[in-house]
Amino acid sequence: MMPHQVAWLIFLLPLFSFVFIAFFIRPFVKPESRVAGYITIAAIGGSLALSIWALFAVMAAPHHEIPVPDITWVVIEGGVTIHLGIIMDSLTAVMLIVVLVVSLMVQIYSQGYMHGDPGYHRYYAWMSLFTASMIGLVIADNLLFMFVFWEMVGLCSYLLIGFWFHKPSAADAAKKAFIVTRLGDFGFLAGILLLYLNTGTFDIHELHELAIAGALAGTVLTWAALGIFAGAVGKSAQFPLHVWLPDAMEGPTPVSALIHAATMVAAGVFLVARMFPLFEHSATALTTVAIIGGITAIFAASMGLVMNDIKRVLAYSTISQLGYMMLGLGAGGVAIGIFHLFNHAFFKALLFLGSGSVNHATGTFDMRLMGGLRKYMPWTYATFVIASLSIAGIWPLSGFWSKDEIVISSFASQPVLFYLAMITVFMTAFYMFRAVFMTFGGEYRGGDPNAHGHDSHHGQPHESPSVMTIPLVILAVLSIFSGLWNVTGHFGAFMGHGQTHGFFEGLFHPFTQTLPWIALILAGLGILLAYAMYSKSWLSAERIGGMFKPLYTLFYRKYWLDELYENIIVRNALLKGIFAAFEQFDNRVVDGTVNGVANGAIASGRAMRHAQTGQLQLYGLFIGIGILAIIFAIYFFG
Amino acid sequence: MVIGLQHYLILSAILFCIGLYGVLAKRNAVIILMCVELMLNAVNITLVAFSRYVVPAMLTGQVFAIFVIVVAAAEVAVGLAIIFAIYRGLEDIDVSKIDLLKW
């Protein structure tokens, strides 16, 4: 067992770090000092140690849950009482590990990557707040509390994506992320309110029980679940609200790693998992989750095939993998979706940090300007390949285990989505190894011709400092081994489903099945095709692109969705339609009322000022008449 | 004819109305001031008359009338001074021409 104060401390440590850096370090310590980074790393390291303790305590606890007493937050007389509380169950414990491990690695890495940036303190303050918000989100035990942190996560990602706010593209990307996710948040809030109006509670446990008992069912449950899912669609960048995520690459690369692996986008998947009993009792909602997930997976992967910016490839890969997670949740259950989130966090953080390391050396994110980095950056290369193998789903790396389960569960429940998922397996392997071969294979193509980045990029690229490579190595180790947690079925059992079995039995079990073989072969073919096209030039990438010209253009232009949203919906429908109508309403009705009142006052003044003759005797006469009138009134009516 | 309270009151009312008419209708500021005096003295008559007929044992009304006379004297002094000041500025004391507060 662990005392419940410790559970609170997991959340409070990064929050203290934020407050301390924002209010004491940033104003009073010179920006070259690294103290802000040390404080953040210490706070997050402390939280991580406590959450490892929490994980083992939860494993040992009955029903895999530690009860934590609530704190009364708001009491409305005759109305509702809102408690501040913590859920410390298996889902929370796993999420805490994911968030804090990735965050810690990112903070350490940022010591190198952000070195010398004038916003160094600001960066660490926001990173601390970001981590604290995400922890608050995963421990929250009522929807209101959760929504607060949900919004704080959105705010922090806005601040961090727009970290280099002097670049217009970064400022725009930050706004886009904020506004697009806000569309989903609206659905989430509507879902919360719908649940509250029908049940009178915000408490997650109570809502679970109501859904399981059948007291919360039918249309209300479906709409509430869909509302909550809308929030998840926004945050987790699912189709059709995925457009903010590729643009979010404008932030510093470690921020991308954190957003894409553990915090922002994981929040949506986590939310669906947290409210899973509600989805489970509404077939419509659950199917919607699976379908959106499946569509997103293949849709994003197809765009990832043709991008030339390494971070954009990874961005579309993230969207695609999040689609897998949603598919896993919708088709399989909490354990399967969250297991993929758990594994994905490590290898995706590794990929992003690797791309940051590459950028550190070459000064560019454009893969066409890289090449041959294998020789100069052996550590980055090795770890990047491990992560790519893992995401491609190669046995026995972590990605294989979770992706395998998703594919199998979708085969059982959603056959159409199963085929999409299989095609996505092939695409994933292809685009990841396309990135690997373009970046690390062949000869160095010179980096950024007008380099202006971190250091001087002239001449040979060089390996990043060890403060950056050590997190890569740690994450690579995790990417290899994290999947083994569920080889024995232990992860699934911990999450509440399934039985455990022997390790070696589980390790080689996939080879006795057909589906894992198909998935492995498809992944292998993807890697082979990438090798043929980008390493050996057996097949010309240009010629193949030319053969499928319309398809290539479709992918490269991202299905024209950005244009659709921006030109048609925003510029025409919103700007010319609704906003113009609002403008008219504002100009005519609102301004008309305000101006009318003022004009009325002016006109009546103009009319009545003729009464002011300046003739004192006339005033006196009126006073006299007035007095007489009052006397008469009192005399006759009083 | 026995002269009673109502005769005093009627006299007072007549004087008051004459004064009021003068205040409202006359142009000359000095005459207006005189009419104000007339109104004050009309009030004095009522005060003394009520005192004499309603509470004969007390002198409240008479004392009050003396106060009014004193205040009226002060008022005349101030009023005439104002009229002088206006005359110096405008070379006229026709109140219909003193309309500086006009819109």
Look at A620 and B23 and tell me if their CB atoms are within 8 Å: yes
Q: Which residues of A touch B25 (CB under 8 A)?
A: 617
CA distance A410 to A495: 19
Q: B57 and chain A: CB distance < 8 Å anywhere? A: no
pLDDT of B67 higher than 70: yes
Q: Which residues of B touch A615 (CB under 8 A)?
A: 95-96, 99
* Cβ within 8 Å of residue A163, ≥6 positions away: A119, A122, A123, A126, A170, A251, A252, A255
**A514, A526 in Cβ contact below 8 A?**
no
Residues from A contacting B (CB-CB < 8 Å) are 609-610, 612-617, 620-621, 624
* Cβ within 8 Å of residue A317, ≥6 positions away: A300, A301, A304, A348, A351, A391, A428, A431, A432
**A122, A27 in Cβ contact below 8 A?**
no
pLDDT for B51 equals: 92
Smallest CA–CA distance, residue B96 to chain A, in Å, is 6
From the list A614, A616, A624, the residue facing B20 with the nearest CB is A624
From the list A609, A614, A617, the residue facing B24 with the nearest CB is A617
pLDDT for A459 equals: 60
Look at A615 and B100 and tell me if their CB atoms are within 8 Å: no
Look at B101 and A620 and tell me if their CB atoms are within 8 Å: no
Q: B88 and chain A: CB distance < 8 Å anywhere? A: no
Q: pLDDT per residue over A180-210, tens digit each?
A: 888 889 999 999 998 888 887 888 888 888 8
pLDDT for A449 equals: 58
Burial of residue A417, with CB atoms counted within 10 A of its CB: 0-12 exposed, 13-18 middle, 19 or more buried:
buried
Rounded to 5 degrees, φ, ψ at A284 are -60, -50
Cis peptide, bond prior to residue B56, ω within 30 of zero: no
SS3 of residue A151 by DSSP:
helix
Q: Which residues of B touch A617 (CB under 8 A)?
A: 23-25, 32, 95-96
Look at B103 and A621 and tell me if their CB atoms are within 8 Å: no
From the list B20, B32, B99, the residue facing A615 with the nearest CB is B99
Look at B103 and A617 and tell me if their CB atoms are within 8 Å: no
Q: pLDDT per residue over A428-459, tens digit each?
A: 888 888 888 888 877 777 666 555 444 444 56
What distances in angstroms separate CA A160 from CA A39, A269, B101, one per listed residue?
Answer: 19, 21, 65
Q: B59 and chain A: CB distance < 8 Å anywhere? A: no
CA atoms within 13 A on the CB side of B10: 5
Q: pLDDT per residue over A377-408, tens digit each?
A: 888 888 888 888 888 888 778 888 888 888 88
Lowest-pLDDT choice from A334-348, A547-561, B34-48, B72-86: A547-561
Look at B99 and A617 and tell me if their CB atoms are within 8 Å: no
- Burial A178-189, CB ≥16 within 10 A → b, else e: bebbeebbebbb
Written as one letter, the residue type at A339 is F
pLDDT for A578 equals: 80
Q: Which residues of B touch A621 (CB under 8 A)?
A: 24
Q: Which residues of A touch B101 (CB under 8 A)?
A: 612, 614
Give the nearest chain B residue to A619 (CA atoms).
Answer: B24
What's the angle, vertex CA A453, arms to CA A447 and CA A458, rounded to 5? 45
Smallest CA–CA distance, residue A607 to chain B, in Å, is 11
Smallest CA–CA distance, residue B28 to chain A, in Å, is 11
CA distance A217 to A220: 6
CA distance B37 to A159: 81
Parallel/antiparallel/unpaired status of strands A88-89 and A81-84: unpaired
CA distance A68 to A60: 15
In this prediction, the residues of chain A whose per-residue pLDDT falls under 50 are 452-457
From the list A609, A610, A620, the residue facing B24 with the nearest CB is A620
Single pTM value for the model: 0.75
Look at B24 and A624 and tell me if their CB atoms are within 8 Å: yes
From the list B95, B102, B103, the residue facing A617 with the nearest CB is B95
Smallest CA–CA distance, residue A622 to chain B, in Å, is 10
Look at A616 and B102 and tell me if their CB atoms are within 8 Å: no
pLDDT for A632 equals: 94
What is the predicted ipTM?
0.77
